Chains A and B, each alone.
Chain A
């Protein structure tokens, strides 16, 4: 069973526009949730994480995400896109047993 689902494999926004990348999780218990960013030929870098301390999580580079249990969602947002935000973004869940499971990713394009 898929643990996280990322809606939209490609998202394009204009520079300065709102960024919204969607992630829904499937879990019977509140999970640990993460967003990672990957630049070409690089490893993954953590943007932010949810570990039940607060539902609105702020991360690096102006990104934030809100955990909504009722919607089983953990969408990533940024108020104003920058050219340097163009990358691949992955939502991940850490389940009991400690494995991390990743979504299929969303490629973000920023149009000047």
Chain B
């Protein structure tokens, strides 16, 4: 499978715990995006990388959220001190050329109890 891969698919965590999600983009794609999607809503943009550079992170929801793409390949999204309001689907996408579409992974569904 050469699509965007996200792990884990599901994560249940207790409030206050830290969680980390991983995204492996399509190998030749230099752009990588993180989105959050809550029930009944469209994907909400969080952050964006071009290669290893994080070009936009102002949309990260709070300072508890951080993302990295250390070698310009896979990326991780970390949420520290999780809250119940963080429960959502976290989607990763990648793309290549400026006019190209984004290819999405299957998402990681986070439930904070």
Contact = CB atoms under 8 A, between A and B. Distances in A.
Contacts of A36: 104
B33 A99 contact: yes
Given A43-B105, A43-B106, A46-B101, A100 B93 contact: yes
B7 to A, nearest CB: 13
Main secondary structure of the interface of A (DSSP, over half): strand
Given A34-B101, A42-B107, A98-B48, A103 B42 contact: yes
A97 interface: yes
Contacts of B41: 104-105
Given A98-B31, A99-B56, A100-B102, 10 more contacts: A34-B101, A42-B107, A43-B106, A43-B107, A46-B103, A90-B43, A98-B48, A98-B55, A101-B45, A105-B42
Contact count band on A: 20 to 34
Interface in B1-49: 4, 6, 31, 33, 35, 40-45, 48
Contacts, number: 60
Contact of A97 (B44, B56, B93, B101): B56
Contact count band on B: 20 to 34
A102 B101 contact: no
B99 interface: yes
Nearest to A91: B42
A16 B48 CA distance: 40
A51 interface: yes
Contact of B99 (A9, A45, A51, A101): A51
Contacts of B99: 32, 51, 94
B91 interface: yes
A41 interface: yes
